[in-house]
Amino acid sequence: MVWIHDIYLLLAPFYLKKKDVATNIGFFMHSPFPCSDMLKTCQYRTEIMKSLLCSNIIGFHAFEYARNFSVSCRKLL
């Protein structure tokens, strides 16, 4: 089990899965996750979101941030 914290390691889940498929990955986002309109401006949004989706569990501080992530996945992926 690997537990990752915060935005500095957003791409870590992708690289961990690439290295070892059997690893269970947990990711907790301490910062607010932006809404899909703001995320559209990020050049690497697809890589970041696909990396987070490599995690087995993703935690957010507030329901609103989890909803932003969910809506962004549906709209942008």
**For residue range 39-60, what is the model confidence (pLDDT) as tens digits?**
999 999 999 999 999 999 999 9
Strand order in the sheet with 57-60: 2-5, 25-29, 57-60
- DSSP letter for each residue of 18-45: HH-TT--EEEEE-SPPPPHHHHTT-TTH
Predicted TM-score of the model (pTM):
0.88
Nearest to 35 by CA among 60, 76, 71, 74: 71
Both structure tokens of 13: 């889940």
Is the pLDDT at 28 greater than 80? The verdict is: yes
